[in-house]
Amino acid sequence: MIEKEDPIISEEEAAQYDRQIRLWGLDAQKRLRGSRVLLVGLGGLGAEVAKNLILAGVKGLTLLDHEKVTEESCRAQFLVPVTAQGRNRAQASLERAQYLNPMVEVCADVEQAEDKPDDFFFQFDAVCLTGCSRDLMVRVDQLCSKRNIKVFCGDVYGYYGYMFCDLGPEHNYVEEKLKVVKPSANSNDGPEAKKAKVDPNETTMVKKTANFCSLKEALEVDWTSEKAKASLKRTPVDYFLLHVLLKFRTDKSRDPDPQSFEEDSQLLRQIRDDVLEAMGLCGDLLGDDFIGYCFSEMAPVCAVVGGVLSQDVVKALSQRDTPHRNFFFFDGRKGNGIVDYFGPK
């Protein structure tokens, strides 16, 4: 993470971010205003994250993507014009992204994330990875954790989506709580008057700390241990589905494609069986019903997962409010999300 001066909010910025300053305070907005973020992957989810971070008022946002705009990507990606097919996705997204907030420095990088040297990632305060391979996410997370750089990962597969965050072994933040009024020591109005009471009209800021583990640790839970077995019934199947979809991406260098639905459906079944067997788990833990619902990026799911993901980036950089620890899973079929922690306690 690069050294930076204490950011100053100008009058113009104070007017632009007035609503946000009222919501989370001037200090939090200053921290955001002094932060630079790298966003890898400008698919539908990446576009949602970019929009939210630019509107929130970070100092700078770098859009990194080597992929080309396709007809498929235009369906969920609202930052690229329909006439941009064949162009680089980061460059095609730049104009509309910058238009959202001229006060944020937005730039496009057309290189492949895997080709970037280690020190490239050290110039940012937070790195957000979408549409990336498991190997790249683990590599970047391990690099950034040594420099106290916040790391976020996320993806959308059809009706399913997830986000993961690693804010380091000790993330400090503040949380607004209703103020507790202590009773007067000289009160003679009985036992009720001597109890502490919550004042609904006044709040106070409470300092808190949360600890996080690496993505590698979160993905390599030993499910043969007695402790893990005991928690299996409470574990969302979305966690195992994520392993299947990341393995598919590793093996095929792409995600399940609607154009090859029959072939990819068969592959998903086989990968599901292999992944669960490697974990020492029963094959019927994840039924076949997921297969028809994990193709392509769906815009509504991108909006939900992108909103949660970008909100956690804002919370982490501003050091305001409780972050999700450490996975968030969303199932668009049910319309609900689950937060759960995986890794060393």
The per-residue pLDDT for range 233-250, each reduced to its tens digit, is 899 999 999 999 999 999
Count of beta carbons in the 10 Å neighbourhood of residue 151: 27
| Structure confidence at residue 185 (pLDDT) | 60
Rounded to whole angstroms, how far apart are CA atoms 219 and 229?
16
| Structure confidence at residue 192 (pLDDT) | 56
Q: How confident is the model at residue 87 (pLDDT cuts 50, 70, 90)?
A: very high
Span 49-77, mean pLDDT? 94
Q: How confident is the model at residue 203 (pLDDT cuts 50, 70, 90)?
A: confident
**Cα separations in angstroms, 151 against 230, 282, 328:** 30, 32, 14
What are the structural domain ranges in the chain?
11-168+299-339, 171-210, 215-293
Rounded to whole angstroms, how far apart are CA atoms 222 and 232?
11
| Structure confidence at residue 13 (pLDDT) | 84
| Structure confidence at residue 4 (pLDDT) | 54
Average predicted confidence (pLDDT) for the chain:
92
* More confident of the two residues 153 and 12: 153
Span 96-101, mean pLDDT? 96
The per-residue pLDDT for range 124-137, each reduced to its tens digit, is 999 999 999 999 99
3-state SS, residue 221: coil
Q: Which residue in 114, 120, 108, 119 sits closest to 64, CA to CA? A: 108
> Rounded to 5 degrees, what are φ and ψ at 199?
-95, 110
Residue with tokens 């990632």, as numbered in its chain = 121
For the chain, how are helix, strand and coil distributed in percent, rounded to 5? 45, 20, 30
Paired with 273 in beta bridges are none
Whether 188 has a pLDDT exceeding 80, the answer reads no
| Structure confidence at residue 1 (pLDDT) | 44
Q: How confident is the model at residue 82 (pLDDT cuts 50, 70, 90)?
A: confident
Span 314-323, mean pLDDT? 95
**Cα separations in angstroms, 63 against 21, 43, 53, 277:** 26, 11, 12, 38
| Structure confidence at residue 267 (pLDDT) | 97
Tell me which long-range contacts 224-229 makes (C-beta under 8 A, separation of at least 24). 224/280
Sign of the torsion angle spanned by Cα atoms 209, 214, 215, 221: negative
Whether 194 has a pLDDT exceeding 60, the answer reads no
Tell me which long-range contacts 81-86 makes (C-beta under 8 A, separation of at least 24). none
Rounded to whole angstroms, how far apart are CA atoms 166 and 189?
50
pTM: 0.91
% of the chain at pLDDT higher than 70: 94
CATH architecture of 11-168+299-339: 3-Layer(aba) Sandwich (3.40)
Span 2-22, mean pLDDT? 77
Q: How confident is the model at residue 176 (pLDDT cuts 50, 70, 90)?
A: confident
Rounded to whole angstroms, how far apart are CA atoms 317 and 34?
9
